[in-house]
Amino acid sequence: EALERIQALEPKLHSFLCVTADRALEQARQVDAKIAAGEEIGLLAGIPVGIKDNLCTQGIPTTCGSRILENFVPPYESTVTQKLAAAGAVMVGKTNLDEFAMGSSTENSAYQVTANPWDLERVPGGSSGGSAAAVAARECVVALGSDTGGSIRQPASFCGVVGLKPTYGLVSRYGLVAYASSLDQIGPFGRSVEDAAVLLQAIAGYDAKDSTSLNVEIPDYSKFLKPDLKPRGRRKIGVIQETFGEGLDPVVEAAVTKAIQQLQDLGAEIQVISCPSFRYGLPTYYIIAPSEASANLARYDGVKYGFRSEDPDNILAMYTKTRAQGFGSEVKRRIMIGTYALSAGYYDAYYLKAQKVRTLIKQDFERAFEQVDLLVCPTAPSTAFKAGEKTADPLSMYLSDLMTIPVNLAGLPGLSVPCGFDDKGMPIGLQMISNVLREDILFQVAYAYE
């Protein structure tokens, strides 16, 4: 059914960079055989999933939406896709993304532009726009994305689905092509909070192959899915003051305000919380993320992976021509910013300063969680914009992630849940943020709200 739907919708949506129909049918047959033999089946047996194309899949092309990885076929499998296969999930294909996950609209993909299923002229958000659109359009039941500054939550908000960025270290990054390693996390998309919880259950857990992986026990997340938040007042929810006001679309503000009222009706105690350093998140991120990216992307030299430019005169020319032709303009911009910020003489002024501000942002959250269990705010300042509207102005594109970025800088989990529509019928998202490893609270409150 998923494959049929993909065939019918892809000419308009372009959510998938590659559809793995044969492998999907083979995986599905294996589940059927297990059922017929009376064997135990996994948590995700037979469930069609989409995988963001920056996760390595053995024998299947992994492009990161970049020309430089054209024809790159990984010789190994990422931990998360391995875990999904072990749980019986059926991978239907690899989803489109902004090149190397740099972007907020999926328009930076070198291959195709993905449409928002709610309005084909609008973007699905990004960088995991293919995964969000595929789930919203029911081309698959759930999907995996990655989130460095908002790339799961913002597209979830734009496409009217649930998206979660887990606590840094909860999900193994082994086999995720690195963008900014201290911020990257893999997480689930689902049409419901329950679906997202089930997918997280399948991928979370310690992995010796990722040195930042947390060795903690993974709770049974389904236990926390209850209809309300009673006893009244047990859950204290803080509204982040700094996310309201200038730059916020009034329609988004109205929907989020209404959602907060509903949380109160469900039994939560609401209070306003100030996070004064929140507003420095964006400039801090755009120093730290490009710095890490400039180092991570140094490996694409035309020797080890995918694309190599034709007829270079010598080895240095091969490197430079390959990189000049293989990377898109946003990726080049970030490599240049990052290289500059890390260079001798500027390191202290930019990179080191950004790391200090990162600590201030983290401390704001620590103070907040001494008072409340959960923070709420809009996921994005606006709803999905029209394709092409922001491509000429990187700064206005960057503003899309104003409210999601501080969460990555602090390593916290954040979830986006749909909370209404604007006057054009485009979905709006409510962001919930909890303390480290308190995904249980996110699921509990989001499930009760949904």
Q: Can you give the binding site for ligand GLN, defined by CB under 6 A?
A: 101-104, 127, 147-151, 179, 289, 401
Q: Least distance from C-beta 141 to ligand GLN, angstroms?
A: 23
Q: Parallel, antiparallel, or unpaired for β 374-378 and 236-240?
A: parallel
CA-nearest of 127, 71, 93 to 6 is 93
- Cβ-in-10-Å burial (0-12, 13-18, 19+) of 355 comes to middle
Q: Least distance from C-beta 70 to ligand GLN, angstroms?
A: 21
In this complex, which beta carbon is closest to ligand GLN, that of residue 207 or of residue 401?
401
| Residue 57 DSSP label | B
Name the residue whose CB lies closest to ligand GLN.
Answer: 151
DSSP letters of 148-167? SSSTTHHHHHHHT-EEEEPP
Distance CA 9, CA 20 (A): 16
Catalytic residue, candidates 104, 151, 157, 416: 151
In this complex, which beta carbon is closest to ligand GLN, that of residue 31 or of residue 64?
64
Burial 373-401 (b: 16+ CB within 10 A, else e): bbbbbbbbbbbbbebebbbeebeebbbbb
Helices and strands in the chain, H and E counts: 14, 11
CA-nearest of 166, 221, 199 to 89 is 199
Q: Least distance from C-beta 127 to ligand GLN, angstroms?
A: 4
Q: Least distance from C-beta 420 to ligand GLN, angstroms?
A: 23
In this complex, which beta carbon is closest to ligand GLN, that of residue 129 or of residue 302?
129
Residue 127 catalytic? yes
In this complex, which beta carbon is closest to ligand GLN, that of residue 82 or of residue 105?
105
In this complex, which beta carbon is closest to ligand GLN, that of residue 48 or of residue 163?
163
Distance CA 234, CA 227 (A): 14
Q: Least distance from C-beta 286 to ligand GLN, angstroms?
A: 8
In this complex, which beta carbon is closest to ligand GLN, that of residue 96 or of residue 322?
96
In this complex, which beta carbon is closest to ligand GLN, that of residue 103 or of residue 381?
103
Q: Least distance from C-beta 147 to ligand GLN, angstroms?
A: 5
Residue 151 catalytic? yes
Q: How many residues does the chain have?
A: 450
In this complex, which beta carbon is closest to ligand GLN, that of residue 20 or of residue 404?
404
Residue 353 catalytic? no
- Cβ-in-10-Å burial (0-12, 13-18, 19+) of 154 comes to buried
Please, which residues have CB within 8 angstroms of residue 367's CB and are 6 or more apart in sequence?
Answer: none
| Residue 272 DSSP label | E
Distance CA 281, CA 372 (A): 21
**What stretches of 147-280 show up as alpha helix (H) in DSSP?**
153-159, 193-203, 250-265
In this complex, which beta carbon is closest to ligand GLN, that of residue 114 or of residue 322?
114
Q: Least distance from C-beta 148 to ligand GLN, angstroms?
A: 3
Q: Report whether 170 contacts 439 (CB < 8 A).
A: yes
CA 278 from chain center: how many Å?
20
Catalytic residue, candidates 52, 83, 94, 390: 52
Catalytic residue, candidates 105, 127, 213, 434: 127
Q: Least distance from C-beta 285 to ligand GLN, angstroms?
A: 7
Q: Report whether 85 contacts 67 (CB < 8 A).
A: no
CA 399 from chain center: how many Å?
16
3-state secondary structure of 418: strand
Q: Least distance from C-beta 430 to ligand GLN, angstroms?
A: 19
User: What is the residue type of 348?
Assistant: D
CA dist 364 → 180, 246, 374, 407, 435 (Å)? 22, 21, 13, 11, 12
Active site residues: 52, 127, 151
